[in-house]
Amino acid sequence: MVKEAQRKLRRWEEEGRIDPRYAEKWNQVFALPMDAIRKVIGADDERGRDLRQNSPMGGLLSEPERRKLVGLSSSR
């Protein structure tokens, strides 16, 4: 899933579909271990919200899969 999101990010960069600042932030996230990626993309803080607004991971997971990945309960 991370590899697929990285490919999508590279495609967005090549097509000029993402601000270079966000592309760099995502590249930094993808360099982290999986547990850290989960924490970053699931964080309820400015960084997490900003990343989710410009996410190459969008559409790769269903809502239940996404919630499981970031450790959220289905009732949230």
Domain ranges of the chain: 2-70
Query: What is the helix (H) or strand (E) element at residue 72, kind and residue range?
Result: none
Sign of CA dihedral 14, 20, 24, 26: negative
Q: What is the pTM of this model?
A: 0.76
Query: Taking the chain (76 residues) in consecutive chunks of 10 residues, what is each chunk's mean pLDDT?
Result: 93 96 96 92 91 86 70 48
- Rounded distance between C-alpha atoms, residue 27 and residue 10, angstroms: 10
Q: Residue 72's pLDDT is what? A: 54
